Amino acid sequence: MEAITDLGDSGLLLPGAAMVFVTLWLARARRRAIAWAAAIASCCAIMVALKIGLVPCGKPWLGRNLANPSGHAALAATFYGSLTLLWLDSITNVAGRVVVAVGATVGIVAIAASRVFIGVHTAPEVAIGLGVGLLSVVVFDIGRGRGPVPRLALPLIVLLLLGGAAALYGRRAGAEDLIRHIAVIFYRTTGLC
């Protein structure tokens, strides 16, 4: 389960997201690149706001079961869900589209479930993360436009992501510590605590 959960870590997915953005931009799929950046940024911004806002002054506002929404679930749903939409843009047969969509869904659900299985999050926290991720995929879907992705963009994205995953897999970002630090600064400077 640790191996599955690492596939949703920001230490892997944020550099991967940057690679996808640059590849789309250089392939002149600029509308998709901007939509991709908007989806990733909206996911990260919402999750940071939730993680800070649900635990004011170190005290869970809605109780311990809903104190720390899953950033892994949110970012995995955003990243892999949006990547799936890019891939689906280049597949014309129905069977291929179904296989890709089901495979992505299983992967996203496995990452989300791994967070509960290893005891890092509760099911409601994972559900909130998935909800934020799906909302961010909608942001990408609305902004990306239609039509096929430039021919070499997807193979290049896959190649870069595999290389990046090989280099970064298992290296955890430690985003939770950074968010906690930001929360302390926020609550101290605003005088709310």
- Per the structure block, which two tokens stand in for 122? 């509760």
Residue 4 has pLDDT above 80, yes or no: yes
Q: In angstroms, how far apart are the furthest CA atoms of the chain?
A: 58
Give residue 147's pLDDT band: very low, low, confident or very high (50, 70, 90). Answer: confident
pLDDT at 174: 75
Cβ atoms of 168 and 11 closer than 8 Å: yes
The residue among 30, 51, 19 whose CA lies nearest residue 125 is: 51
Residue 170 has pLDDT above 70, yes or no: no
- DSSP letter assigned to residue 56: G
User: Which range among 31-35, 78-82, 133-137, 165-169 shows the weakest confidence by mean pLDDT?
Assistant: 165-169
Name the pTM for this structure.
0.86
pLDDT at 165: 72
pLDDT at 189: 85
CA distance from start to end of the chain: 37
Cβ atoms of 120 and 138 closer than 8 Å: no
pLDDT at 171: 67
